[in-house]
Amino acid sequence: MQKKTAIITGGGSGFGREVALKLAKKGTNITVVDISRENGEETVRLCKELGCNAIFVQADVSKVEDVKKYVAKTIDSFGKIDLFFNNAGVSGSGVRTIECSVEEFNNIVDVNLNGVFYGLKFVISEMLKTGGGVIVNTASLGGLVGIPTLGAYSATKHAVIGLTKTIAGEYGRENIRINAIAPGTNETPMVKAYPKKAIKQMAEAVPMGRLGQPHEVADVVCFLLSEQSSYIHGAVISIDGGAAAL
Ligand SMILES: NC(=O)c1ccc[n+]([C@@H]2O[C@H](COP(=O)([O-])OP(=O)(O)OC[C@H]3O[C@@H](n4cnc5c(N)ncnc54)[C@H](O)[C@@H]3O)[C@@H](O)[C@H]2O)c1
């Protein structure tokens, strides 16, 4: 991936940071996008320590103008976009679906679905100008099955899979390769914030008897972004210790 340029949304934490660090080790130019300046700048610092060029763009992926900004700043700094990890997302407060407030439901849709769409819209437009690119969208196990108490989250992640498959059909001939990942529960900061009892129960429900680690997801993302996966297109890759098999 020498001399390629990647944009990573949600790059300040969890899967986004892990992928940034792995790509940094390969010399990739990286734009870290996050709503959190502190976390995003820390990822950039860690990437630069590994010797790559990296910039931070503070952006809320649910705002069209912010998405245009992170795309424009990447083009200004690096000239093109080769790789896009369209990953930023939020979960939800964990109540049954009809108890979810309208505001919370709409916010989850804004970030997890509209934010993913805006990213695809403006990044693919740039990739088409330079001969193509590779995209990984972050869906979830919750994009394959329902997750009681995370209705909005599950709905948006199903939608991310729908967008991924549709765009695969639309742009494959123009050298845009796109896939989605469907991670099960992983020990990222998002999940570590849950009560300990809930974490234990989640681990027991997984066929492998444990939660995933962010680096296990990042390895798959980097594979999907690389030439090694050159004929994988429009796929949804589960990374879940077997959870989707049940
Ligand atoms: N952790 C899991 O078990 C798990 C499982 C399946 C899918 N996912 C998905 O993986 C992705 C990354 O999650 P994670 O577990 O690494 O979480 P995380 O909370 O560690 O990281 C998410 C990052 O996204 C950023 N972010 C949130 N809203 C944003 C917005 N509106 N604009 C820009 N940045 C924003 C946060 O600041 C944070 O840095 C999400 O889409 C999540 O739904 C996570």
Ligand 1 near 241 CB (within 6 A): no
Residue 246 lies in a domain: no
The pLDDT score that the predictor gives to residue 191 is 83
Ligand 1 atom 40, closest CA = 89
Ligand 1 atom 42, closest CA = 89
Closest ligand 1 atom to Cα of 11: 39
Task: Give the pLDDT confidence of 127-163 residue by residue, as tens digits.
Answer: 999 999 999 999 999 999 999 999 999 999 999 999 9
Spacing, Cα 10 to ligand 1 middle (Å):
6
Residue 244 lies in a domain: no
Q: Which domain holds residue 21?
A: 5-238
Residue 26 lies in a domain: yes
Average pLDDT (228-232) is: 98
The pLDDT score that the predictor gives to residue 204 is 96
Structural domain count of the chain = 1
pLDDT band, very low/low/confident/very high, at 71 (cuts 50, 70, 90):
very high
Ligand 1 atom 20, closest CA = 14
* Cα torsion angle, 19, 120, 4, 32, sign: negative
The pLDDT score that the predictor gives to residue 188 is 86
The mean of the pLDDT values for the chain is 96
Ligand 1 near 40 CB (within 6 A): no
pLDDT band, very low/low/confident/very high, at 14 (cuts 50, 70, 90):
very high
Look up the CATH number of the domain holding residue 17.
3.40.50.720
Closest ligand 1 atom to Cα of 190: 19
Q: With pLDDT > 90 as the criterion, what percentage of the chain qualifies?
A: 94
Residue 243 lies in a domain: no
Ligand 1 near 47 CB (within 6 A): no
Evaluate if residue 190 carries a pLDDT over 90: no
Average pLDDT (218-228) is: 98
Ligand 1 near 11 CB (within 6 A): no
Q: Worst-scoring range by mean pLDDT, 29-38, 111-120, 190-199, 225-234?
A: 190-199
Ligand 1 near 190 CB (within 6 A): yes
Q: Worst-scoring range by mean pLDDT, 44-58, 83-97, 189-203?
A: 189-203
Task: Give the pLDDT confidence of 94-126 residue by residue, as tens digits.
Answer: 999 999 999 999 999 999 999 999 999 999 999
Catalytic residue positions? 153
